[in-house]
């Protein structure tokens, strides 16, 4: 593979992966404006974010078997087209209930991009390079929390929050064109794969039986759900508790994302000397420790505005190293049905994320404590799952640097 080809693949796969995060981050500064327009409160608007996560989780299970049966291209083109129509619908929504439903539909379309991009990493690159590729994708995805909320803040302050969804639809059109004219179909369709419920369920159950899959899926999902909590709770914390404007919030969100993006690139350098397993064993305990300190500081009321920013920044730094390695370790045992495995991984991750983000919205407290509590609990749960499973399943895991991959049928 030439360097130019390598870079083009990373950019396209990165934009596919970033479509979902852009759909989340870009409209966050518009929460107060949407709440005012639809005669509700910010917590109510946050339910449209949770519904998006639910749609993503459901869509993951839908696209996994489709990607394995029909190849990557056809389901991807369908999902992107579905996303464009739903985005236009969100811009035309006049009630909260309509927005919630349309966000579910939008999510189902966008998750085709997320599942396909993960599966294509496994298709196009050697297994021992997957963690590095995921880290590079995260660099592209990192443009989302840096750019999306800032753009969303100015779009909301200018033409209005509805135009955020028009911009997202335009972005999806450009990605659709790139997929049609540049991205190869990296997987030969397998017509033997059945789309009947029983074989699909059996396929998912076979994947779930692999100790490495369920260990790193649950570990990565709970660790990553801290980010979902932050995304759902940060508009209330910064715009309601600390009283910043929508445009300032966009800049704060962008600044905090530097921790997540920067640490993911540090992770790429660390992978030259350490394995993914070694990095996770350090980054995850650090993430749990930061979560505990964040909760204690919030309960004691000693953090304030800047202390809150520092704690979230450190949490995201740890997550930036935990997440790509957990994802690579989750998919390492699979080759033939990486689409099914990646879709199940995504469904579990997003399902847990949806529950976590909803739990943040349910707290009737105008303070930082609910956000800190949820971020702390999820990181501690991830820590417990990983080290308990490593002890129970000693010797049963395949490292991402190994040449052989376990084939799951």
Q: What's the pLDDT band for 49 if we cut at 50, 70, 90?
A: confident
C-alpha 146/C-alpha 251 separation (Å) is 8
Count CB-CB contacts under 10 A for residue 190.
Answer: 13
Residue 138 binned pLDDT confidence (cut-offs 50, 70, 90): low
Tokens describing residue 130: 């997957």
pLDDT score of 402? 35
DSSP string of 269-327, one letter each residue: HHTTTS-HHHHHHHHHHHHHHHHHHHHHHHHHT--HHHHHHHHHHHHHHHHHHHHHHHH
CB 193 within 8 A of CB 409: no
pLDDT given at position 401: 43
Tens digits of residue pLDDT in 266-296: 887 888 888 888 899 999 999 999 999 999 9
pLDDT at 219 over 50: yes
Is residue 99 a contact partner of residue 38, using CB atoms and an 8 Å limit? yes
Whole-number percent of the chain with pLDDT over 70? 90
Per-residue model confidence (pLDDT) at position 403: 33
Lowest mean pLDDT among 67-76, 207-216, 366-375: 67-76
pLDDT at 104: 93
Q: What integer pLDDT is reported at residue 338 of this predicted model?
A: 67
pTM: 0.72
Compute the distance between CA of residue 309 and CA of residue 301 in angstroms, rounded to an integer.
14
Say whether pLDDT at 396 is over 70: no
Rounded to an integer, the average pLDDT of 46-61 is: 84
50-81 burial, b if ≥16 CB within 10 A, otherwise e?
bbbbbbbbbbbbbbbbbbbbbbbbebbeebbe
Would you put residue 399 in left (φ > 0), alpha (ψ -120 to 50) or beta?
Answer: beta
65-100 pLDDT tens trace: 787 778 778 888 999 999 999 999 999 999 999 999
Distance, CA of 312 to CA of 281 (rounded, Å): 20
Give the pLDDT confidence score for residue 409 in this predicted structure: 29
CB atoms within 10 A of CB 2: 7
Mean pLDDT for the chain overall: 84
């Amino acid at each position: 593979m030439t360097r130019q080809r390598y870079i083009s693949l990373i950019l396209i796969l990165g934009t596919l992966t970033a479509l979902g995060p852009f759909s989340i981050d870009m409209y966050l500064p518009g929460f107060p404006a949407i709440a005012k327009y639809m005669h509700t409160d910010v917590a109510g608007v946050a339910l449209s974010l949770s519904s998006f996560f639910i749609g993503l989780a459901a869509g993951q299970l839908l696209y996994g078997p489709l990607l394995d049966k029909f190849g990557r291209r056809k389901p991807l083109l369908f999902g992107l087209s579905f996303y464009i129509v739903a985005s236009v619908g969100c811009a035309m929504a006049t009630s909260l209930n309509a927005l919630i439903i349309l966000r579910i539909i939008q999510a189902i379309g966008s998750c085709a991009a997320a599942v396909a991009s993960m599966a294509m990493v496994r298709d196009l690159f050697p297994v021992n390079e997957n963690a590095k590729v995921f880290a590079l994708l995260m660099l592209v995805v990192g443009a989302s929390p840096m750019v999306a909320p800032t753009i969303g803040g100015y779009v909301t302050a200018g033409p209005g929050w509805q135009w955020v969804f028009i911009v997202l639809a335009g972005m999806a059109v450009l990605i659709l064109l790139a997929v049609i004219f540049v991205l190869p179909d990296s997987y030969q369709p397998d017509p033997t794969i059945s789309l009947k419920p029983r074989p699909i369920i059996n396929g998912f159950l076979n994947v779930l039986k692999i100790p490495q899959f369920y260990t790193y899926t649950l570990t990565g999902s709970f660790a990553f759900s801290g980010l979902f909590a932050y995304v759902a709770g940060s508009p209330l914390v910064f715009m309601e508790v600390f009283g910043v404007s929508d445009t300032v919030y966009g800049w704060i969100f962008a600044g905090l994302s530097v921790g997540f993006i920067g640490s993911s690139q540090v992770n790429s350098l660390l992978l030259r000397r350490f394995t993914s397993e070694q990095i996770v064993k350090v980054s995850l305990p650090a993430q749990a420790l930061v979560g505990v300190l964040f909760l204690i500081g919030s309960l004691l009321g000693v953090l304030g505005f800047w202390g809150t920013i520092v704690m979230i920044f450190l949490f995201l730094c740890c997550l930036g190293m935990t997440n790509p390695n957990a994802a690579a370790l989750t998919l390492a045992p699979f080759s033939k049905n990486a689409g099914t495995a990646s879709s199940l991984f995504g469904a579990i991750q997003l399902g847990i994320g949806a529950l976590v983000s909803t739990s943040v919205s349910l707290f009737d407290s105008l303070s930082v404590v609910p956000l800190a509590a949820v971020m702390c609990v999820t990181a501690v749960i991830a820590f417990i799952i990983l080290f308990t499973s490593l002890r129970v399943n000693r010797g049963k895991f395949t490292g991402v640097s190994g040449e052989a991959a376990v084939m799951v049928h």
